[in-house]
Amino acid sequence: MIPWLSDNTPFPPLNKALDDPNGLLAAGGTLNQGRLLDAYRRGIFPWYSPGEPILWWSPDPRCVLIPEQLHVSRSLKKQMRSQTYEVCFDRNFPAVIDACAAPRSASAGTWITREMRQSYIELHKSGYAHSVEMYQEGEIVGGLYGLALGKLFFGESMFSRRSNASKIAFVHLVEQLKKWGYALIDCQVSNPHLFSLGACEIPRQEFEDYLQRYLNVPHNHHWDFEPDLFRKE
pLDDT category, 228, cuts 50, 70, 90?
low
Count Cβ atoms within 10 A of the Cβ of residue 124 and give its class: 0-12 exposed, 13-18 middle, 19 or more buried: buried
Determine the Cα–Cα distance for residues 220 and 140; give it in Å rounded to an integer: 28
Mean pLDDT of the chain: 92
Single out the residue of 73, 85, 95 nearest to residue 229, CA to CA: 85
For 63-77, the pLDDT digits (tens) are 999 999 999 999 999
- Domain(s) of CATH 3.40.630.70: residues in the chain: 63-214
Q: Please say if the pLDDT value at position 231 is more than 50.
A: no
- Tell me: pLDDT of 173 over 80: yes
Task: Please give the CATH architecture assigned to the domain spanning 63-214.
Answer: 3-Layer(aba) Sandwich (3.40)
pLDDT tens string 25-65: 999 999 999 999 999 999 999 999 888 999 999 999 999 99
> How many whole angstroms separate alpha carbon 188 and alpha carbon 56?
12
Domain 4-59 has CATH 3.30.70.3550: yes
Q: pTM here?
A: 0.93
Residue ranges of the chain assigned to CATH 3.30.70.3550: 4-59
